[in-house]
């Protein structure tokens, strides 16, 4: 099947299929004599795997690791579980950060009169550079990155 058919069958756009090939996430497709890409049922199966992993929020790099494990029949499920749990931790960190952002914005909006006057606590807050919060966020992200790196080396 051609790239359009593979895209329709897998749920991955033709543009993303080309991107994944270009970056080595998936092998380059076979080509016809005229240079058109040809995809097999196995290729579509792999693209569906990639699509599902993307739907679960895995990065392209993490999907590469998952694909390697998927192809390796001598793999240990512990390796797959470790990747999944590290991703869960990263997602939970992002959820906590986003909940904090939503709470802050709700508080700021609650304190904004929303009338004809120009005074606005939302804009006042955005204007401030809060170094303590900025450094705290950077440290949490750094910790999450280090956790992921440790998980990948086990």
11-30 residue pLDDT tens: 999 999 999 999 999 999 99
Contacting residues for 140 by C-beta, under 8 A, at least 6 apart: 93, 97
Task: Tell me phi and psi for residue 29, to 5 degrees.
Answer: -70, 155
Q: What was the pLDDT predicted at 153?
A: 47
Per-residue pLDDT of the chain (154 residues; tens, 9 = 90+): 999 999 999 999 999 999 999 999 999 999 999 999 999 999 999 999 999 999 999 999 999 999 999 999 999 999 999 999 999 999 999 999 999 999 999 999 999 998 998 989 999 999 887 655 666 656 666 655 555 544 444 4
Task: Say if residues 66 and 53 touch (Cβ distance below 8 Å).
Answer: yes
Q: Where are the beta strands (DSSP E) in 27-141?
A: 30-31, 37-38
- CATH, domain range 3-71: 1.10.1660.10
Quick one: CA torsion of 133, 139, 144, 148, rounded to 10 degrees?
Answer: 160
In the chain, where the domains are located: 3-71, 77-153
């Amino acid at each position: 099947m051609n790239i359009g058919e593979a895209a329709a069958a897998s749920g991955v756009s033709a543009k993303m299929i080309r991107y994944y090939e270009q970056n080595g996430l998936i092998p380059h497709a076979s080509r016809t004599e005229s240079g058109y890409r040809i995809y097999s049922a196995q290729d579509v199966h792999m693209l569906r795997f990639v699509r599902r992993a993307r739907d679960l929020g895995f990065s392209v790099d993490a999907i590469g690791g998952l694909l390697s494990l998927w192809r390796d029949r001598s793999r240990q499920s512990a390796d797959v579980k470790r990747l999944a749990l590290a991703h869960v931790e990263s997602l939970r960190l992002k959820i906590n950060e986003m909940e904090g952002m939503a709470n802050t914005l709700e508080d700021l909006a609650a304190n904004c009169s929303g009338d004809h006057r120009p005074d606005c606590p939302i804009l006042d807050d955005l204007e401030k550079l809060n170094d303590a919060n900025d450094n705290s966020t950077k440290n949490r992200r750094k910790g999450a990155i280090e956790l992921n790196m440790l998980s990948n080396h086990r």
